[in-house]
Amino acid sequence: MLRRCSRCNLEKKLEEFEKNSSKSFGFGCRCKKCAAKRSADYRQRKPEIGLQYTKSDHAKVLNRVACNRYYHKNKEKRSVARKTWAVKNRHVISSHARMRGRRLKQATPDWVSMKDLLQIYSNCPAGQPVDHIVLPKHPLVSGLLVPWNLQYLPALINISKSNKFNGVNP
Ligand SMILES: [Zn+2]
C-alpha cells in the first residue's frame, strides 16, 4: 500500500512514514525523511526549546498523564476511599481546620477592614475559590490576609499551585 507524503509529494510505502497513532492507519502525513527534516529545521530555528525540554521533562509529562488517567478511571473508588478515611480520621480533619483558622487569624492585621475581606469572599465567582497570592502557610513568608493578597482562581489552577515562594510575587 502506498501513501503520498504531504511534503515531498512522493508516493512511498507505509513503513516509510512517521508513526502517529492519532492519524488514519497509524501513520502521519509526512514520510520519515520529511519528518526528520522538519524537526531538525525546528530545532535550528528554536534551539532554546530543544534545550529546555529534556527527556526527564518528557518522563514527567508521561507520568502526569498516567496519574491523570488513573485518577479518572478510579474516580469512584478514590472518592469512596477518601470518604472512608475522612470518617475514620475526623480528629485529623478538625485539627487541620482549627490550625487553618488560627493561621488565617494571625495573617489578618488589625487594620484590615473585615468588610472588605468579606466582600471579596462573597463576590467570589462559582468554581473559582479565593486564592492567596502569597500563601499564609509558608516557612519563609507569610501572605497576609489583606485584599491585595487575594485573587480568584479557577479551581484547577489553585490545586496545581504548590506552596512555593521564589522570592518575588507572581
Ligand atoms: Zn516526504
Residue 13: DSSP 8-state: E
CA of 94 to the centre of ligand 1 (A): 64
Residue 80: DSSP 8-state: H
Query: What is the per-residue pLDDT for 32?
Result: 92
Listed residues 13, 36, 52: the one ending a domain: 52
Q: Is residue 22 part of a domain?
A: yes
CA of 133 to the centre of ligand 1 (A): 50
Q: Is residue 28 part of a domain?
A: yes
Q: What is the pLDDT of residues 70-83, one digit of tens each?
A: 988 898 888 899 89
First-residue to last-residue Cα distance in the chain? 55
Q: Is residue 60 part of a domain?
A: no
Contacts of 127 (CB under 8 A, 6+ apart): 154, 155
Query: What is the per-residue pLDDT for 123?
Result: 75
CA of 5 to the centre of ligand 1 (A): 5
What does pLDDT average to over the chain?
76
- What residues form DSSP beta bridges with 150? 132
Considering only CA atoms, which of 131, 136, 134 is closest in space to residue 165?
Answer: 134
Listed residues 52, 69, 85: the one ending a domain: 52
Percent of residues, the chain, with pLDDT higher than 90: 10
Listed residues 12, 31, 52: the one ending a domain: 52
Residue 4: DSSP 8-state: E
Q: Is residue 69 part of a domain?
A: no
| Residues in the 5 Å CB sphere of ion ligand 1 | 5, 7-8, 31, 34
**Over residues 22-44, mean pLDDT:** 84
pLDDT band per the 50, 70, 90 thresholds, residue 170: very low
CA of 51 to the centre of ligand 1 (A): 27
Q: Is residue 33 part of a domain?
A: yes
CA of 9 to the centre of ligand 1 (A): 6
Q: Is residue 46 part of a domain?
A: yes
Q: What is the pLDDT of residues 101-154, one digit of tens each?
A: 887 776 666 666 777 777 777 777 777 667 666 665 555 555 666 666 676 666
Q: Is residue 18 part of a domain?
A: yes
CA of 18 to the centre of ligand 1 (A): 10
How many domains is the chain partitioned into structurally?
2
Query: What is the per-residue pLDDT for 94?
Result: 87
Per the structure, the complete domain to which residue 137 belongs is given by 109-160
CA of 52 to the centre of ligand 1 (A): 28
CA of 6 to the centre of ligand 1 (A): 6
CA of 23 to the centre of ligand 1 (A): 16
CA of 11 to the centre of ligand 1 (A): 8
